[in-house]
Amino acid sequence: MSVLTRALYLAVERLRGSEALALLREIEPLRMLPPDRARALQFARLQALLEHAERRVPYYRELFADLRISSRDIRSLEDFARLPVLTKDIVRERARDLVRDDVPLSSLSEHHSGGSTGVPLTFWREPRYMSASAAGTYRNLRQAGWRPGDMVAFFWGWNDRLNRMSRVEFELRQQLRRMYQFDPFHSGLEAMDRWVRTWNRIRPRVALGYASTIARFAAHVERTGRRLRPVAGVFTTAEKLYPAQRELIHRVLGGPVFDCYGSSEVQNIATECVRGRMHVNADFVVLETDEAGRMADGTAPLLVTSLWNYAMPFIRYRNEDCGALVPGVCDCGSGFPLMELRIARVSDNFVLPNGRVVHGEFFTHLLYGSEGIESFQFHQTAMDRIVLWIVPTGEDGAARERAVRAAVAQVEALAPGLIHVEAREVASIPLSSAGKHRFTRSDVSIPADSGVRA
């Protein structure tokens, strides 16, 4: 990368007012703190968060009052472990009481996510959280030698803003932001042929994104005998990374593959190091396991506390993933604690009659946060047929009808005239064999994808 490109990138970031690069400088050395100093830093941040929550957040104010303690009485992680768990049900029922009451809600950004019970939830974040989250991602990329201004191939959910951009505007923005976005919602064979050309033109230093999309791209490149300029590292996130996918990605894209773990509500939870071990980002989260739920394989439900979300503190939050804390210190030089992850999250990719392949995340975001809908599932029963199962709430039938109509139209527009979407209301949606709700489900396998996952 030229000196000029880097200077331009840094100027653009300054103009955007993002604190991410400044925060990166601050957090980058923390990963290499010795374990005792990392623990001390983590606990100091936890105390500051608890004090804030007690003072500014109605739900926690009430909780500390009920327990007849003050946040200052929590002097160790053992004390902390006695606080009640925050479940998704509580977040759903008490959402507004969990938001700090000293800033207007309009100053926060609203987000939605799913969950294994199938009922979506809403949460809020501050601009500073978003900057910290970006800084955390940058710190991950640094492990592969990425420097601010180096190009990132970014396989991530598309949105309407990107759809509305002209080609020229899109190209300019991707070049200036140094994150070139590839669209997992439009990832058929034709699209991936284009990706090969784009990749070799933009010359990414690293790649980042959905494990399934990057693996499908790698499989396509290998099958068609093309060559990609190798990257220094690949960072997968948001869904389960299978061993076969890891090998395939490494073989085709070059560079080591690092799996990163975050959940929708709490990001930057853990990152694989150069030794292939998963380190908890102790400056971003406190991670515990819920021993009451320990399973035969030694893992237990995770309880995660975000040390950065002051807008809506998540404290001892059961995010519905499972894992284990691993004792010992890694020889990579990082003093951050170790963990093992057992993540079940899998998004199905839908293949449509026009050859378009659409990552499951496309569908979920159509209905998250819609009024009158308790839960839903997009189920592809045949290549040209999708059933949208809806569990209605008692209220607001008109809002529900509007939301469903809009979602059906958007899905049918993926392959105009070639697919039919039928919405059906039901009392409940059956869980998967693993006992979890799936927002997307496809009975149609993508012929070219065989072996990508196994």
Q: Rule CB under 5 A: which residues touch Zn ion?
A: 273, 275, 277, 330, 332
The distance of closest approach from Cβ of residue 277 to Zn ion in the complex, given in angstroms and rounded to an integer, is: 5
Pick 336 or 439: Cβ nearer Zn ion? 336
The distance of closest approach from Cβ of residue 32 to Zn ion in the complex, given in angstroms and rounded to an integer, is: 10
Pick 255 or 372: Cβ nearer Zn ion? 255
The distance of closest approach from Cβ of residue 240 to Zn ion in the complex, given in angstroms and rounded to an integer, is: 21
Pick 21 or 339: Cβ nearer Zn ion? 339
The distance of closest approach from Cβ of residue 283 to Zn ion in the complex, given in angstroms and rounded to an integer, is: 15
Pick 324 or 446: Cβ nearer Zn ion? 324
Angle between helical axes of 167-177 and 3-16 (0-180°, round to 10): 100
CA atoms within 13 A on the CB side of 97: 13
Pick 16 or 275: Cβ nearer Zn ion? 275
Pick 118 or 323: Cβ nearer Zn ion? 323
The distance of closest approach from Cβ of residue 326 to Zn ion in the complex, given in angstroms and rounded to an integer, is: 11
